[in-house]
Structure 1
Amino acid sequence: MKMLLAVDGSACALEAVKFAIALVRDGLQARFVLATVQEPTCVYEMVLAPDAEVLERVTGATGERALEAAEAMLEAASVAFDSEIGSGMPADALVEMVKRFACDAVIIGARGHGVLRSALLGSVSQAVLHASPVPVTIVKPSSS
């Protein structure tokens, strides 16, 4: 089974990584695509960057930092994974990765916003849940 494991460097995303590791420890035979998405650059960033190559390097470095803790956790647990840094609107890019990598499922952390705030602002995990062609597990923040 191949699963997309979406992270953004947040504590909520690391809860999803812990959940994925627990699944493997409980016997799930899975390989993960550890994925993060960098949102499109704004006009301000494009004006300040001396050229497109510099902007691409900065975006890549940000994506690599978002993956670091999750990669360390998966490596320490000896869980197989590939890493992918996408760009664009997060939910759309994650769903595209699901299709491109032929993933069978998605694991993603929830931010833990209240119902009203989530309804007003929207949420990447909710958008992925509705757009994904495969099952999605949303991992809520731990209550500890």
Structure 2
Amino acid sequence: MKILLPVDGSELSLAAVRFAIDLATKGLQVEAVLANVQEASNLYELLVAHDPEVLDRVAAEAGVHTLQAARALLDAQGLAYEMEVARGDPAHTLVEIAERFGCDMIAMGARGNSALRSAMLGSVSNEVLHASAVPVVIVKAPADLGDEG
């Protein structure tokens, strides 16, 4: 099963990676796609940088850096993975990545690092849940799980 694992640097996104690892240790054949979506540049960044290529390079480097902890978890378990760093609206971009890579499922944290955006626009996980054609597993924080976990 190919699982898209969106990683934004939050502990919950790494909990989703651990969830996929747990599935693999229980016998499921897991292939992971690690994804990080950098939001598009705003007008101020474009005016200050003067060069869109610089902004693209910085965003790509930030995305790869954000994926490091997830890569280390998967490498430690010997699980195969692919990576994608993209720019744009996080929810819709993640759905596009899942389609492009032929993912069978998306596993992601209940909320990530963008608290302000979540409060104003609805959470990325909620948007993905409604826009995805494949099942979406929302991984909650251990405190949210009550006595189960």
- Shift of the alpha carbon at 1:50? 3.2
- The SS at the match of 2:28 is coil
The Cα RMSD (Å) is 1.8
Aligned equivalent of 2:142: 142
- The SS at the match of 2:111 is coil
- Map 1:1-144 onto structure 2 (within 5 A): 1-111=1-111, 121-143=121-143
- Shift of the alpha carbon at 1:121? 3.9
Aligned equivalent of 1:115: none
Q: Give the aligned residue type for 2:28.
A: L
Instruction: List alignment gaps of at least 5 residues for structure 2.
Output: 113-117, 144-148
Aligned residues: 140
TM-score by length of 2: 0.88
Aligned equivalent of 2:115: none
Residues 54 and 136 of structure 1, relative CA distance in 2, 3 Å threshold: same
Q: Distance in 2 between matches of 1:88 and 1:23?
A: 30
TM-score by length of 1: 0.91
Give CA deviations for 1:43-91 in whole Å, capped at 9, x if unaligned. Answer: 1111111312211111111111210100111101111100100110000
Give CA deviations for 1:68-115 in whole Å, capped at 9, x if unaligned. Answer: 100111101111100100110000000001111111111001128xxx
- Shift of the alpha carbon at 1:21? 0.6
- The SS at the match of 2:67 is helix
Instruction: List alignment gaps of at least 5 residues for structure 1.
Output: 113-117
Q: Give the aligned residue type for 1:128.
A: V
Q: Distance in 2 between matches of 1:47 and 1:119?
A: 28
- Shift of the alpha carbon at 1:2? 1.1
Identity of aligned residues (%): 53
- Contact persistence 1:2–1:32 (CA under 8 A): yes
